[in-house]
Amino acid sequence: MSLDSLFSRWDRAATRILRIVARTVRVAQGEHGVVMKTNRGYGSRDEIFMIGRVFRQSRPHRGADDSLIHQLRDIGRRISRRAVPGVAVTAEFGGTQQQVSTDRDGYFRIHLRPRDRPPPNRLWHVVHLILERPLPVRAEGQVFIPPEHYRFVVISDIDDTVVKTGVANKLKMLWRLFVEDAESRTAFPGVAALYRALHAGASGDEANPMLYVSRAPWGIYEVLDEFFTRHAIPVGPILFLREWGVSWTSPLPRRAEDHKRELIRRMLALYHELPFVLIGDSGQRDPEGYRQVVDENPGRVLAVYIRNVSHGSRRIKEIEELAKAVAAAGSSLVLAADSSAIADHAAKLGLIDPAAVTTVASEEAAEGGSRTRVRTLHTETSEGELRDVLGSDPGGEPPNVVVEPDKPQG
């Protein structure tokens, strides 16, 4: 590759990166730079949830375009924007109003029970939002309400479950997304086809809710939104656990309590009549958190899929404990090294169309993935059995392991 060609590639990549990073600051919706920004919400026919933020930012320069200098100015505006705490936001939906206040970071949370049920013939619904003070601002938000014929709910982690690299490292993720190649392999091979199959369900039109949770800050939202679009992953509410509070004057993130289990409890309560599928990874604390969810909700969890990203024994004990709890509840756990293993299992449970297994495998192969062997344990996992399977070939590819309830005797 010539020097001119390499420079041109980097210039295009830098411009695309900056366009995404600066996207949300281009237009201030109110006077004096007051902005009310909303993120996709979720709900049922009885209640909805939504999160948004109110902040101030300097107005864009006149004649702004997509040049590098204007992109850099917009990023500066984004970093220097200031939260507007303690102001009232009014939400209107389904003939009902709710007024809430922004917190110290400018975020507001809507939990509204509409008087009029939303129409059943569409999935995304508009929520009208009004800010009267300090300056009038109006905005619209979108909430996903599944159709009446949906069968289950999917809750998926993002980091090391959908995306290979840590989403908290925005620069690294952006580099992989826009520089390494146009069809970035940041996503795990086959994951987009797998999630499309789960969203469609066995009948192909179930529109099962796809709810995504992450430990990343809200500032990564636009990057992930672009990532999901580029990879044709079904969009849905993306829920983060905290605001890091990073600014020019405070470059280090604030410590925050982990609210992931509380988010999942809220979703379980909202969709109280339906079962769940939990998808996470072995590298963080998903096994421990999901074990507690299974313990607290017997019979509600159809399957737990854990992306096997750990090549050592450090996390195996926690995975063993999760496997025991899942098997005791009459459900299954798949410790998956590839997307096809999850698709195979989901098809056997009747969660996806069997034809989708071939689609997942084809996409996985096209994206450079490879299928590994599958081991099935019909056990409540005797001590060390899962550890022995996972540690049998420490230098090779991690296996796919399916842990199911004990077979009935006789």
Q: At a CB cut-off of 8 Å and minimum separation 6, what does 305 contact?
A: 277, 278, 279, 280, 333, 334, 336, 342, 345
Cα–chain-centroid distance for residue 131?
28
CB 276 within 8 A of CB 154: yes
CB 398 within 8 A of CB 311: yes
Residues 252 and 306 in one domain: yes
Q: According to the model, what pLDDT value does residue 12 have?
A: 61
Enter the pTM of the model. Answer: 0.79
Residues 117 and 164 in one domain: no
Do the domain assignments include residue 410? no
Per-residue burial over 44-60, b if 16 or more Cβ lie within 10 Å, else e, is beeebbbbbbbbbbbeb
pLDDT confidence bin for 98, thresholds 50/70/90: very high
Residues 358 and 297 in one domain: yes
* Strand partners of residue 92: 97, 128
Range of the domain at 242: 153-404
Domain boundary among 144, 165, 189: 144
Do the domain assignments include residue 174? yes
Residues 148-192 pLDDT 10s: 889 999 999 887 788 776 544 555 655 554 444 434 445 688 999
Residues 129 and 190 in one domain: no
Dihedral Cα 63, 67, 70, 74, nearest 10 deg: 120
Residues 113-148 pLDDT 10s: 999 999 888 899 999 999 988 778 899 999 999 988
Domains identified in the chain, total number = 2
Q: d(Cα 361, Cα 377) in Å, to the nearest integer?
A: 23
Q: Three-state SS for 79?
A: helix
> What CATH number is given to the structural domain containing 19?
2.60.40
Residues 173 and 114 in one domain: no
Residues 239 and 273 in one domain: yes
Residues 329 and 378 in one domain: yes
Q: According to the model, what pLDDT value does residue 292 have?
A: 83
Query: Considering only 188-197, 239-248, 284-293, which range has the smallest mean pLDDT?
Result: 239-248
Residues 239 and 128 in one domain: no
Which of residues 312 and 246 earns the better pLDDT score?
A: 312
Residues 140 and 168 in one domain: no
Residues 291-308 pLDDT 10s: 888 888 888 999 999 887
Q: d(Cα 52, Cα 38) in Å, to the nearest integer?
A: 4
Domain boundary among 144, 179, 207: 144
Q: d(Cα 261, Cα 334) in Å, to the nearest integer?
A: 20
Residues 332-343 pLDDT 10s: 888 888 899 999
> What CATH number is given to the structural domain containing 265?
3.40.50
Q: According to the model, what pLDDT value does residue 94 have?
A: 95
Domain boundary among 144, 178, 213: 144
Whether residue 42 has pLDDT greater than 70: yes
Residue tagged 């737990």 (tokens): 304
Q: What is the mean pLDDT of the chain?
A: 76
Which two tokens mark 108? 């507001």
Residues 75 and 166 in one domain: no
Do the domain assignments include residue 409? no
What are φ and ψ of residue 194, in 5° steps? -60, -45
Residues 70 and 185 in one domain: no
* Strand partners of residue 138: 130
